[in-house]
Structure 1
Amino acid sequence: MALINCKECGKQISDQASSCPHCGAPVAGNPPAPSATVAPLAAESVRKTSTYKYILYGTLVLLVAISCMGGGKTSNTPREFNATQAIFLCEHAIKQVSRDPEKAEVPMVSNVGSGDEYVFVWGPQTKLTRLRNGLGLEVGVPAVCKVSHAQKKMTSLSVDGKTIF
């Protein structure tokens, strides 16, 4: 191994080098070796990219197929309306008619209705709703709420003896 001067920049380099490490000029008599190593690396990079692309496309197709089929969890029948949904309607309405909806407390009570009608009663025998009065004090207030099972809406609401609708 001998040192020679680069024809481009004049600095000393190994005669075994394929190119000058300083300026990158090819060394006379030594074929450039990087092209032989670059091609396999580029092909491997393309293979990795293609593999990731196929995995991404496969996942996307799978998600679209599951969403089109509904995931097997839904059916064409409408969801059953139950007492929990009915009391939620009543709780929301009571809070809306109170002076301070954010501070209103509507405890859970049992359905006392029968047939097509859910009836919820907040009173002395159960738990009272807690609403703020005109002075800003929290007081216990009786309430009665009726919800139609068939119509899925409230049919009447009374709060503190006043009929709201």
Structure 2
Amino acid sequence: MESEGFDVGRASAVSVVPPAKPRKLAKVPFVELADGRLQGVVSSGSDIARVYVSSFAAGTRTFSCGTNNNRPCGGLGGSPCKHLRALLDEAVAQYGLRRIADYLKIRLEDDEPSTFDLVRGFDGGPSREQSGVVFNRFLRYLSYLELPGATAPLPEMHWFPATGAMR
């Protein structure tokens, strides 16, 4: 099937569900649902060179936040810190509240749930997760943005939204 000179059957891009709302990429440049977690990279509000890798785990209902070099977040206590809340807000913008709740196995009782209802579901407390895997995947994906345009398959880029040609 050809579309605008583009062989859809052989492309490295796949159709993606459009975001529920526009996201703030400067604050939370990377959000993913993977490995039984909502996880991502959140920029520091005070230091441009620092980022936090934050995650919410399904099943254990725990949460984690630390710098890209595995130092724990200073704001992480018995409840999610501001980085985790920013991650959750952007994930809801990207995937929608119901999809996040389903993936994380959080039951929403309210007819009009909010992100507060999701946060309340994480009663397992903080845990220490290694941030290296998520951060390295984020950096690897960023390196693809520097590649010249091509139609050759890049299997790891299936998560990256295709522009225009794949609708």
TM class by shorter chain equals under 0.3
TM-score, length of structure 2 as denominator length: 0.26
TM-score, length of structure 1 as denominator length: 0.26
- Greater relative contact order (Cα 8 A, min sep 6): structure 1 or 2? 2
Q: Which has the higher Rg, Structure 1 or Structure 2?
A: 1
